[in-house]
Structure 1
Amino acid sequence: MVHAVRLWTLLSATFSCALATEVMLGRTKIIGLDSPQFKQEFFGGIPFASPPVGDLRFRPPIAKFTLDGPSLSATNFSASCVQAGLPFSEISENCLTLNVFRPAGVSSKSELPVMVFIYGGGFVAGQSSIMNGTGLVSRSIARGTPIVFVSLNYRLGPLGFPLGDEAARNGLLNLGLHDQLVALKWVHANIHAFGGDPKKVAVSDREFPFAPVLDGPGGLIPDYPTKRVARGAGGKLPFLSGTVLDEGTSFTPQTLVGVTQAEAFGISLFSPSPAGTSALQTAVQNTLAQYSDDPADGCPYFTGNDTFGLDPEYKRTAAFVTDIGFLSLRRWFGRAAAARGALVHSYMFTDPQPENPPQIGITHASELPYVFGGTPAGNPGAPQLSEQMMDYWISFATSLDPNDGKGSERPKWEPYTPSKEFNHANLTMIADEFHISQTEFNDKNHFRLAIIALCVVPRW
């Protein structure tokens, strides 16, 4: 996302001129960077697990709550985990590290709330460095509710999510999720040294929902979350969850032509299915049938009959992917949690993205740069909206309520009900009914399609 990269370029230039700062973790001195301009300090590339190489490759992470040696240089991010699309010089198997941004002048007695960001990317791509925490920490200081911000790396692709019977028999599925859990345990064990409160840790996870694989009885993912939630799992933890208007455009091939290719693509998203190939094909065909082939009804939404030079099936398929991969899940989990008394705050993000190509519209993760203080250059109202969104998120992290009244003037974000969700463009409560007939159809079939959703959940 262009505006996110621009923000990081600016902030990294600032840190390049920063001074040294230190934190003692056990017997190790961690040397980070002090940035007086932002009144905060940065510690990057801190190992939270042993390097997953050699005999530890394709193994669950070995937690590393203490460090080796008298000192650790933590003045930059570590290499990202192995993935396609990045230069070899920027990736490494030795990547299980995390980063800490904190206000200057805090101590181990400060006990500040902690925000942990876990990148998405479909479990095949992602970098802890791409969403810089400087803006959030600066905003938290300015509004009088300072936080500590943490981001982390986890293994991706076949190194993090190996597939097959052998991996399943040996309990080696979802290694990347095990990495995330060990990183969170590290935060609980050590964040006090950086001024954080281990009892007040909120986790933000914007993950693509198709990839996790069941570990089997007693494993990390013993059953489909839809089934577990229906049985009462999850308790009444408060959470924020949301979707953007045109989620599916980023994941729909623009080369797609005709109904046959649309069905084949839909089947590929959920293969292999525990229901079997024939049942999956029928489910995809029946679900696609719920969507009009009129381009005016397709995604990106509200773009009329414009097909952007693509086959009309692109817009219909993108609508299918938006609903079945994102909107249906957010709506189902939100309603299920709210029905049992959990405090849920849900949003639909619709702010225009003039820097995006028109065929992708307001696509997946468009709201994240706003939360981190970066906005599209061609949208004059975006900076104010970004400030308000940062305040909502920081307020939730510090009080479990996005409406603490501090910082920017902003409307009340009311708790979610089927008739009330938040529109993160004009900051008004709207009825949660967009594509309601399609998502209700999807709800009746979500067990068969075996979809998994992750939300923004506090670990308090």
Structure 2
Amino acid sequence: MKVSFFSLAVGLLAQLGSVHAAPADPASKSNLEARSVKVTVTSPAGSVVGRSLAGVETFSGIPFAEPPLGPLRLRPPIRLNSTLDRFDATGIAAACPQMFLSTEAENVLIDALGDLLTLPIFRAVNGREDCLTVTVQRPAGIPADAKLPVLVWIFGGGFQLGSSSMYDATGLLTNAKNMNQPFVFVAINYRVGGFGFLPGAEVLADGAGNLGLRDQRMALEWVADNIESFGGDPGKVTIWGESAGAISVLDMMVAYDGDNTYKGSPLFRGAIMNSGSIVPTQDIDVPKAQAVYDLVVSNAGCAGASDSLACLRNLDYETFLRAANSVPGILSYNSVALSYLPRPDGDILTKSPDVLVAEGKYAAVPMINGNQEDEGTMFALFQRNITSSSHLVDYLSDLYFQGASKKELTDLVATYSWRPSQGSPFRTGLLNVLYPGFKRNAAILGDLVFTLTRRVFLKAAKTANPSVKAWSYLASYNQGTPILGTFHGSDLLQVFYGVLPNYASRAIQTYYFNFVHNLDPNVGVGGFPAWPEWLPERPKLAWFFNDRSDVLNDDFRQKSYEFIESNVRALHFRDEGGDARSRWGL
């Protein structure tokens, strides 16, 4: 197998779950400690001891909230009320409880990726509930008063898995320092799956909705309070995320109707969103959401309890974990019809994000938002029975958009050609037809959740705040990867890790470092073409290949885009009533 495909497959599984973060054994930790030097920082939160290695100082797993254990399970985070005293931040930050691959998903991925799934790097991460932490990395030796800009990373994983420990910014920090554009990096942990995004009327009444978003917000407040002691400038924070992390970045922008201030100052001044923006959703207690809660309660043995939410809180960890993970996952037939995701709760999310953006109720900061060319391919691996237009309409109606009529969904599907040459992976002709209809299914899923939704978001945001600058991109650097193309998550290897040190990784990292320092990807280090600003009247993208970049008009699949834009309310992930459990396959 070619090294390039291996790297991309690692990127795929890094996005989806549990690579790079298998639990370290004592011997490996001893080796790490032997090669590193300890360093101490004292901040308002207390003193923490980290490690210095390869020119980067790392402080892992610093708690920002009380452990959400026992009666604090399924409750909003409570700020840590004790002062840290030489807290050991030299290890690996614990992941929050994870929702792993189903057997079905594993079998399909084995078909697509072969023996890669048997490698040790794909061992599952063992999560734990005591996980609300941040990890800080900075260039070694910077003074406490360095006032460097700060880049805060929010991991992805479909709101069901992922952790901060999967992302080591050593390469990013080294490259930035070599360009004379150093910064401080922060990765935050937040609750995922049923621990962080359990919906339902009971959750709403208890004020316990969107806990994962509340974790993220509190982590940003920790940054505001403490990052100056690590050499960062709390007034120069950029938030960055990929996939569910990018959706979270947008949710941080619309949280509390766009009020991103804390102690009178903004929590962030810029935003970078890779493969994600708005996800239009109905409220946290609609029938489809309630079906998730009811299934978890049933499988937990709490259906007969007078207070089912209290019953869930009182369960032992393993019982609640199994119950929370009993709903369909992202790598399944249900795909991106997510069981767990942010939903309006009347508090941190007062309305669906698309509505808040259109109303101008978001923190209008300069931003970068873009996509991989083939966002939908890996999400279309699981629907081999969907081989006709009518099957596809039924699938979208049953699992995604119960608020849309069959005619509306038929019209949407009709904007996509059945010809394989027009589907995703794009620009591959008649190749990569995994099953009849695969390439059209992949195109539609990618556009509805990521690519064309991005265009809808950018137009709405720029209409509400035309003076705030935005840049967008399309990445095509992995064209030719069988079946998957430039798939969702492939930028993790290219951009975050820079494992493939080609033009794409060098260019995008440079643009991002410029943005972190100057809120403009074109200001700072040069050597690459000017990245055009995205404007509604002249929407243009930077188009990245592995050996060059170009400018692309953001008008591809325009008929599909116009339909989505005109029918966004009908395309909320929602349910209008009826037997949600049976229609959702529960």
Shorter-normalised TM range: 0.7 to 0.9
1:334, distance to aligned residue in structure 2 (A): 1.5
1:19 matched residue in structure 2: 37
Q: Name the CA distance, whole Å, in 2 between partners of 1:28 and 1:131.
A: 25
Equivalent positions of 1:59-458 (< 5 A) are: 59-64=75-80, 67-68=83-84, 70-85=85-100, 90-208=126-244, 209=279, 212-217=341-346, 219-234=347-362, 236-257=364-385, 258-259=387-388, 260-267=390-397, 269-270=399-400, 275=403, 279=404, 281-308=406-433, 310-339=434-463, 340-352=466-478, 356=481, 358-376=482-500, 382-406=501-525, 409-417=527-535, 418-425=538-545, 426-450=548-572
In 2 relative to 1, CA 51–332 (structure 1 residues): closer, same or farther, beyond 3 Å?
Answer: same
- 1:346-367 deviation line (CA, Å, top 9, x unaligned): 001111256x5x1111111222
In 2 relative to 1, CA 353–65 (structure 1 residues): closer, same or farther, beyond 3 Å?
Answer: farther
Provide the aligned C-alpha RMSD in A: 2.6
1:98, distance to aligned residue in structure 2 (A): 1.1
1:266, distance to aligned residue in structure 2 (A): 2.4
In 2 relative to 1, CA 142–280 (structure 1 residues): closer, same or farther, beyond 3 Å?
Answer: farther
Structure-1-length-normalised TM-score: 0.87
**What is the DSSP-based 3-state SS (H/G/I as helix, E as strand, rest coil) of the residue aligned with 1:77?**
coil
- 1:214-242 deviation line (CA, Å, top 9, x unaligned): 3343x111112222222222354210000
Is the CA contact (8 Å cut-off) linking 2:518 and 2:524 kept in structure 1? no
In 2 relative to 1, CA 222–28 (structure 1 residues): closer, same or farther, beyond 3 Å?
Answer: closer
- 1:397-433 deviation line (CA, Å, top 9, x unaligned): 1110111242x62111121124421112232222111
Q: Name the CA distance, whole Å, in 2 between partners of 1:415 and 1:117.
A: 23
The one of 51, 57, 70 aligned to 1:33: 51
Is the CA contact (8 Å cut-off) linking 1:248 and 1:322 kept in structure 2? yes
Q: Name the CA distance, whole Å, in 2 between partners of 1:189 and 1:65.
A: 14
- 1:293-332 deviation line (CA, Å, top 9, x unaligned): 1111111111212244x32211111111111111121111
Q: Name the CA distance, whole Å, in 2 between partners of 1:282 and 1:28.
A: 60
Q: Name the CA distance, whole Å, in 2 between partners of 1:108 and 1:66.
A: 23
**What is the DSSP-based 3-state SS (H/G/I as helix, E as strand, rest coil) of the residue aligned with 1:446?**
coil
1:50, distance to aligned residue in structure 2 (A): 0.9
Q: Aligned partner of 2:411: which letter? A: N
**What is the DSSP-based 3-state SS (H/G/I as helix, E as strand, rest coil) of the residue aligned with 2:487?**
coil
1:185, distance to aligned residue in structure 2 (A): 0.6
Q: Name the CA distance, whole Å, in 1 between partners of 2:563 and 2:552.
A: 21
Q: Name the CA distance, whole Å, in 2 between partners of 1:234 and 1:84.
A: 30
In 2 relative to 1, CA 93–7 (structure 1 residues): closer, same or farther, beyond 3 Å?
Answer: closer
Q: Name the CA distance, whole Å, in 1 between partners of 2:458 and 2:342.
A: 22
Is the CA contact (8 Å cut-off) linking 2:75 and 2:208 kept in structure 1? yes
Is the CA contact (8 Å cut-off) linking 1:43 and 1:101 kept in structure 2? yes
Q: Name the CA distance, whole Å, in 2 between partners of 1:387 and 1:349.
A: 13
Is the CA contact (8 Å cut-off) linking 1:133 and 1:149 kept in structure 2? yes
Give the length in aligned residue pairs: 433
Q: Name the CA distance, whole Å, in 2 between partners of 1:394 and 1:436.
A: 32
Q: Aligned partner of 1:148: which letter? A: V
1:46 matched residue in structure 2: 62
In 2 relative to 1, CA 396–248 (structure 1 residues): closer, same or farther, beyond 3 Å?
Answer: same
1:372, distance to aligned residue in structure 2 (A): 1.9
**What is the DSSP-based 3-state SS (H/G/I as helix, E as strand, rest coil) of the residue aligned with 2:135?**
strand
Structure-2-length-normalised TM-score: 0.69
Choose 22-31 or 328-337, whichever is displaced more.
22-31
Q: What percent of counterpart residues are identical?
A: 33
1:2, distance to aligned residue in structure 2 (A): 4.3
1:105, distance to aligned residue in structure 2 (A): 1.5
Is the CA contact (8 Å cut-off) linking 1:245 and 1:348 kept in structure 2? yes
Q: Which consecutive unaligned segments of at least 5 residues does structure 2 have?
A: 1-7, 23-27, 101-121, 245-278, 280-337, 575-586
**What is the DSSP-based 3-state SS (H/G/I as helix, E as strand, rest coil) of the residue aligned with 2:542?**
strand
Is the CA contact (8 Å cut-off) linking 2:532 and 2:540 kept in structure 1? yes
Q: Name the CA distance, whole Å, in 1 between partners of 2:45 and 2:191.
A: 28
Choose 174-183 or 75-84, whichever is displaced more.
75-84
2:104 matched residue in structure 1: none
**Relative contact order higher in (CA < 8 Å, ≥ 6 apart):** 1
Q: Name the CA distance, whole Å, in 2 between partners of 1:57 and 1:338.
A: 39
In 2 relative to 1, CA 119–353 (structure 1 residues): closer, same or farther, beyond 3 Å?
Answer: farther
Q: Name the CA distance, whole Å, in 2 between partners of 1:412 and 1:419.
A: 15
**What is the DSSP-based 3-state SS (H/G/I as helix, E as strand, rest coil) of the residue aligned with 2:570?**
helix
In 2 relative to 1, CA 306–401 (structure 1 residues): closer, same or farther, beyond 3 Å?
Answer: same
In 2 relative to 1, CA 164–288 (structure 1 residues): closer, same or farther, beyond 3 Å?
Answer: same
Q: Name the CA distance, whole Å, in 2 between partners of 1:161 and 1:32.
A: 31
